[in-house]
Amino acid sequence: MTQVSNDLMSTRAPLDPALAEIDRRWKESGVPDLYAGGSGPVSRERAINIRAFLYPKPKLPQGTIEAIELPAPPGSGRPIPARIVRPVSGEPTGTLVYYHGGGWVVGDLDSHEAHAIRLANEAGVVVLNVDYRLAPEHPFPAAIDDAEAALVWAAANLARLGGADKPLAVGGDSAGGNLAAAVGLYARDRGIALAAQLLIYAATDLAGKPGPERMYLGDDAERKASDPRASPLRAATLRGLAPVIIGVGPYDFLYRDNLAYAKRLREEGVTLVMREFPTLNHGFFSYTAVSQDSLAAALQLCADLRALMTS
């Protein structure tokens, strides 16, 4: 077993001033929390506006981007929109199936296209960026059904993606990290080989959470939160999982979730690359155009993924 960690949390550093400024400007604007009101369409419009106002997308060189539709999982009634994002140059290191963040309620292929482009360029992967169904219109298990179906399609179509002889990985941020972790369990249990799981400030345990988790889980939320497909931390065992990369900062409301998941991974012998970024909060992979600390963290996680894909 390989354990990798850094020493960044030996002393508590202040929140990156650029990120503190985002918080200040948001509060000053009077714009409510993204999920206030419990409406999916309202939350999505609010998210688009706040991103444009506070943290625009970084301008990155990009390779080809191909829009496709993946086969619908049973009972969904619609194909899964996705985009194949290729590196701007170089031979691919493999394929990454990526699930965007947004509390299972907001986010889409456009909001997280820069994430996919950065991962493609820096880690050398061909990214399958997946537009899973969103809550509250499509509550659990719709998102994880789509996430699993996307992985199955990718595993069967590697030649069209990063190469039939190249490794496969999953990844995501926040809610997407939750889906990636749950898909990691699915892959292990069905014999789908993964080289890595990239979990960027992932939600790992939805029990007792009062926010968008309730919009995602719908009725009987606490019972559903005990399902490992919703809360990967609650799986009976994590043994046998593919190597995991975790990236999180101490100012993140999911920090303890990430530490708890890392603790179990270590205890159960899973290879872990644990990155704690001392000046960062939730969402830093989206803040790279305004925060140098966020950019450095994003580049580190891309390098970690490349290392696992090429080891």
Catalytic residue among 145, 205, 252, 293: 252
Closest CA to 103 of 154, 187, 33, 197: 33
Q: What is the largest CA-CA distance in the chain?
A: 52
DSSP 88: S
Using CA atoms, how far apart are residues 191 and 251, in angstroms rounded to an integer? 36
CA atoms within 13 A on the CB side of 236: 2
Question: Letter for the amino acid at 42?
Answer: V
* Cα-based torsion angle of the residue sequence 181, 186, 191, 195 in order, rounded to the nearest 10 degrees: -10
282 in active site:
yes
Helix (H, G, I), strand (E, B) or coil at 141: coil
Using CA atoms, how far apart are residues 56 and 35, in angstroms rounded to an integer? 20
138 in active site:
no
Using CA atoms, how far apart are residues 259 and 201, in angstroms rounded to an integer? 10
Which residue reads 């965007």 in tokens? 100
231 in active site:
no
- Residue 195 is inside which H or E element, if any? none
* DSSP-H helix ranges across the chain: 17-29, 40-54, 113-123, 142-156, 175-190, 212-217, 221-225, 255-267, 292-310
Catalytic residue among 100, 112, 115, 282: 282
DSSP 251: B
Catalytic residue among 111, 174, 231, 291: 174
Residue numbers annotated as active site: 174, 252, 282
